[in-house]
């Protein structure tokens, strides 16, 4: 019997047209997008399906949009009797994972992540911070380079997303970030500046966590019906109080994604389904462990393939 984990993507997974084919084929998906519009108070569905891309990419827009499609895909799987033994999500995706686990409702999660996106964007003045992916280096090397760049510039940079072997995203003040990128190239790696306008998952986002705490205090979190692996600890969490605390910390703490995946594999998970737009997490998974089954759902074709595949292993 396969042990299944559902994985939910985070910011950057969005693209114009996402969810359109599913909504045309499944009325329940179309209803979720309509409900998303009602919850955010404007036509976000049009941005998802028609663009412009620059508007969809805005943090406060893409976060509820990605969550809406992720939850719609989740519900299609649940309808077919495909249920997870554990869930996890990358950054924003952790909120989708909490919906899957019964901690949050869709109606609670959509406005919450829109506020989260706004708070994260407003935590640092535009142009003063950013993020970059460092490739081809170990996590230990990246940590050393961040410390050196911070010393040399007097500014802050740190590891923000430990995604998979050979890929760590760093975040911080622009001066320290650029120095860290240069040091990575000198060390034999590659550095790619990400098209985001804030240093997410760094201590510079602490003000966003403080504002998020107020929003979370108004939401009645429930005990998780299936375990959720926290980004902050790479460990299981089920209790509302601990979930709330870790969500507050999450915006200014590194995402331990590789460690989270390895924890699930060590505990017997052998089938992972990425639920939502794009296939970023599937790519990370294959770099972490090629021996596990990696699937994804984002449109009618991928849904059919997952149902066919899991019908043979469940």
Beta strands 157-164 and 167-173 are antiparallel
The catalytically annotated residue of 70, 91, 96, 230 is 91
The catalytically annotated residue of 70, 96, 173, 201 is 201
Could you give the maximum distance between any two Cα atoms of the chain, in Å? 56
Say whether 156 is catalytic: no
**Residue 268 backbone zone (phi > 0: left; psi -120 to 50: alpha; other: beta):** left
Say whether 91 is catalytic: yes
Report how far apart, in Å, the C-alpha atoms of 164 and of each of 22, 87, 157 are. 30, 18, 19
Beta strands 86-89 and 4-8 are parallel
Q: CA-to-CA distance for 288 and 78, rounded, in angstroms?
A: 27
Q: Which residues pair with 132 in a beta bridge?
A: 170, 193
Q: CA-to-CA distance for 247 and 200, rounded, in angstroms?
A: 14
Say if residue 52 is preceded by a cis peptide, omega within 30 of 0. yes
Report how far apart, in Å, the C-alpha atoms of 116 and of each of 3, 156, 278, 307 are. 32, 23, 22, 33
Return the active site residues.
91, 201
């Amino acid at each position: 019997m396969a042990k299944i984990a559902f994985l939910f993507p985070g910011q950057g997974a969005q693209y114009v047209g996402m969810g359109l084919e599913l909504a045309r084929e499944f009325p329940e998906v179309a209803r979720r997008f309509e409900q998303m519009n009602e919850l955010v108070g404007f036509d976000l569905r049009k941005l998802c399906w028609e663009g412009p891309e620059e508007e969809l990419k805005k943090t406060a827009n893409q976060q509820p949009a990605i969550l809406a499609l992720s939850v719609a895909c989740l519900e299609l799987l649940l309808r077919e009797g495909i249920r997870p033994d554990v869930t996890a999500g990358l950054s924003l995706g952790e909120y989708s994972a909490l919906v899957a686990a019964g901690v949050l409702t869709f109606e609670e999660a959509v406005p919450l992540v829109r506020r989260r996106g706004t708070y994260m964007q407003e935590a640092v003045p535009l142009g003063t911070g950013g993020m970059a992916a460092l490739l081809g280096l170990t996590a230990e090397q990246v940590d050393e380079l961040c410390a050196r760049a911070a010393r040399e510039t007097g500014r802050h940079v740190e590891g923000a997303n430990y995604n998979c072997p050979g890929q760590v995203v760093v975040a911080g003040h622009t001066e320290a970030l650029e120095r860290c990128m240069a040091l990575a190239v000198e060390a034999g790696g590659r550095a790619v500046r990400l098209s985001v306008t804030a240093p997410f998952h760094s201590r510079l986002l602490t003000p966003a966590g403080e504002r998020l705490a107020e929003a979370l205090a108004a939401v009645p979190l429930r005990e998780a019906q299936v375990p959720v692996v926290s980004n902050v600890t790479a460990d299981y969490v089920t209790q509302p109080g601990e979930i709330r605390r870790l969500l507050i910390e999450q915006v200014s703490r590194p995402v331990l994604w590789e460690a989270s995946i390895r924890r699930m594999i060590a505990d017997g998970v052998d089938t992972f389904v990425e639920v939502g737009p794009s296939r970023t997490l599937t790519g990370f998974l294959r770099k972490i462990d090629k021996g596990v089954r990696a699937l994804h759902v984002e449109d009618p074709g991928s849904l059919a393939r997952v149902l066919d595949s899991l019908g043979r292993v469940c």
